Amino acid sequence: MNDSTWGAPPPSAGYWGPPDQGPAVSGAAPPRDAGAPAGHDVGGDVSQTRPMPIVSDPGDSGGPEERPRFHDERFRDEPEGRGAQEPAPATAPAPAPEEDRGKKRAGRDLRAAIGVGLGLGVVILASLFLYKPVFVGVIVVAVVVGLWELTSRLNERKGIRAPLVPLAVGGAAMVVAGYVRGAEGAWVAVALTALAVLVWRMTEPPADYLRDVTAGVFAAFYVPFLATFVALMLAADDGPWRVLTFLILTVVSDTGAYAVGWRFGTHKLAPRISPGKTREGLVGAVAFAMAAGALCTQFMIDDGSWWQGLLMGLAVAVTATLGDLGESMMKRDLGIKDMGTLLPGHGGIMDRLDSLLPTAPVVWLLFVVFVGAG
């Protein structure tokens, strides 16, 4: 329904008074038949007219007279003793339907979101700086849960049966191999995972085989393979600081996009994919991420320089935005708002990884170019 269908109709469409008192407007309702009762038209198109309310005789109920109230000025009541120029008292809004009561308003639970975010931050920082292999385990858990959310939504909404078991085992192997054996180990694990997906799916009927294995290989690259670059960053001598810089820049980029877009956003960035994102928000993401990148690389990274952080912040803002739009595209195709409900106020694990996953390989590559593999 477009906006033109809301609000009051034009005076000519709803005028029911005598012909000699109404405005002479082309297209007005035809005169009534003298024999027809009031409120019933003999002919003409009445699709644009507003039905008159049925008002019972006050004498029938024995109670005080009740007059209907109208928001339309043409049908406003004029009680006795009140001048025509004085407006009628406003009526109380109608009570909400029973099924609508108790429903939460759309949006996030802010307190839950903040609490979950702080809890995740504590877990990440503690595992990152106390014992690096524990953080590898955190990455593995995030990967496995993310794969479970993704494959579950594909099966529920599209009937695509991407095999979870080989994906979970292979995804965990990718992350561990990347940390222990570097890029070569990660690539070997990717190849073996794809092969395992092909073989595992052979245990089921051949119908939709190509569709299911294609989705499985896509999931293997989208979640665990991209997450492996975080493990590659962690393996460097100053790995915890590189990973922390990567996390800070991504979070700051998202925060800048939200803050600036909420305050100044007017021009949509990709309305058919994510109507809430604006070009002004993208500018805010770039500015915040570049400032944070300059500070982080200057003071947290060995042999790092502020100008390298500026370039890294720019790259992070772009890739984080593209990652967010990419998952929004998938969720629109699936007809869902969130990938899961595991994190109150945030959605699922995949709803937190959407901007992190495509950003990880870019940040790893820039670190290798600027300061070496470590």
At 176-233, the pLDDT tens digits run: 999 999 999 999 999 999 999 999 999 999 999 999 999 999 999 999 999 999 999 9
Task: Check residue 343 and report its DSSP letter.
Answer: B
Work out the burial of residue 298: count CB atoms within 10 Å of its CB; fewer than 13 is exposed, 13-18 middle, 19 or more buried. middle
pLDDT digits (tens, 9 = 90+) for 123-164: 899 999 999 999 999 999 999 999 999 999 999 999 999 999
Burial classification of residue 279, based on how many CB atoms lie within 10 Å of its CB (0-12 exposed, 13-18 middle, 19 or more buried): middle
Please say whether the beta carbons of 150 and 219 come within 8 A.
yes
Tell me the percentage of the chain whose pLDDT exceeds 70.
71
pLDDT reported for residue 114: 82
Across 36-40, 89-93, 275-279, which has the greatest mean pLDDT? 275-279
Instruction: Judge whether 175 and 235 are in contact, CB under 8 Å.
Output: no
Residue with tokens 């307190």: 111
At 343 the pLDDT is 80
Q: Do the beta carbons of residue 170 and residue 192 sit within 8 Å?
A: yes
Write down the pTM of the prediction: 0.71
Cα 146 versus chain centre, distance: 17
- At residue 116, the pLDDT reads 80
Contacts of 341 (CB under 8 A, 6+ apart): 347, 348
Pairwise CA distance, residues 296 & 372, whole Å:
16
Chain position carrying tokens 């005169």:
31
The answer to whether 358 touches 326, Cβ cutoff 8 Å, is yes
Identify whether the C-beta of residue 348 lies closer than 8 Å to the C-beta of residue 342.
yes
Residue 183, classified by CB atoms within 10 Å of its CB into exposed (0-12), middle (13-18) or buried (19+), is middle
Residue 368's H or E segment, with its range, is helix 356-371
Contact 247, 355 (CB under 8 A): no
Mean pLDDT of the chain: 80
Least trusted range by pLDDT, from 62-71, 180-189, 300-309? 62-71
> What's the rounded Cα separation, in Å, for the pair 67 and 183?
79
